[in-house]
Structure 1
């Protein structure tokens, strides 16, 4: 059926714009994220155990995201009243405050816009989606998790640093890369570049696979 079709934004697409009410007030998404890295993430429902651990994880790492000039925006298909009650409940029980905005997507419009509502998993709850959006408003990385598996916060942080590092130094990054490790240099496109590379101080696995140290920030 046509109403079951899912809009799936892709890597490289502009982040779809929308207006919504959040726990920090009304938001026009394109204006809120302008000029900043942003992580938009959805959870299935307020007052649920896995979601509580995840949202708490984002809140506990708020300083990390601030240090990396990255805004956090949460979302679920719940009312603003449910969101506020949940924020208050978690704060009372754990002392952790969700300071980032949480979108009240009661009409499912944003969830559908971002492909977060997937009928094969649930028709009424958003899956655990994570969208990494760069300062130009472009989607750079997407993660989808099912309802019953929580996200890995260390991988979310690693992926953010990797994206920012690759942009800053114009390099690619290998399997399991973490800060402090070497980056991959683009393969040579001419014979002259190949010869120049062989005389460089790069770590040469082969002429097409070379690694180099990154400057210390």
Structure 2
């Protein structure tokens, strides 16, 4: 008999290709390949017509233009039918005056949810937990966030995360705690003794050989 570790489905891993999928959504068929060349935030919620999920979807919808400005799309998912998704989206528009501009995956089969480790037996065997996956424009999984069922996510933090990843890629730097655009970034630590010795005179804000900050040029 397989033990629990062996029997469990493989979890996606950072800096590896995101699991491929094809699924029906509220905007028609979608696959991971459709987003090639764009960043993607794929996020799951436990169920339609639930209050915490409603607040998250409203926040994602309001931040949608900001994600689009980063060449980033949004794609929701829950283990509900397309018909349930459509009814919920219409209810959000009617009750809250907010239109949901992005698609939601119909995952009654749980194929996508299982491929991405959205089903957590310790929380639920039949509902997806609040998970967020940031996939870059090459289809590589760059970040994963998991939240417990009763706790709503900060959509501003997801947006900040995408900005930070794109900044790190573009400039070859790291970003400190709570970094926001326009703030100083961190220069990667030197890899040789000679580089460490040269750090003090490299022109960056020098604190120690391993800790230097830099102001990025204006975009």
TM-score, with structure 1 as normaliser:
0.95
Is 1:17 the counterpart of 2:38 in the alignment?
no
Larger mean CA deviation between 136-145 and 21-30 belongs to 21-30
CA shift, 1:4, in A, is 6.8
1:198 to 200, 203, 217: 200
Q: Secondary structure at the match of 2:87?
A: helix
Confirm or deny that 1:69 pairs with 2:58: no
In the alignment, which residue of structure 1 is the partner of 2:165? Answer: 163
Residue aligning to 1:184: 186
2:98 to 76, 80, 96: 96
**1:88 Cα deviation (Å)?**
0.8
Unaligned runs of 5+ in 1: none
Q: Counterpart of 2:51?
A: 49
SS in 1 for 2:168: helix
Aligned length: 216
Deviation at 1:194, TM superposition (A): 2.9
- Secondary structure of 2:67's counterpart equals helix
**For 1:84 and 1:179, how far apart are their aligned partners in 2?**
36
Q: How far off its partner does 1:195 sit?
A: 3.5
**Structure 2 length-normalised TM:** 0.94
**Residue correspondence of structure 1 range 70-85 to structure 2 within 5 A:** 70-85=72-87
Counterpart CA distance in 1 for 2:193 and 2:87 is 64
Alignment-derived partner of residue 33 in structure 1: 35
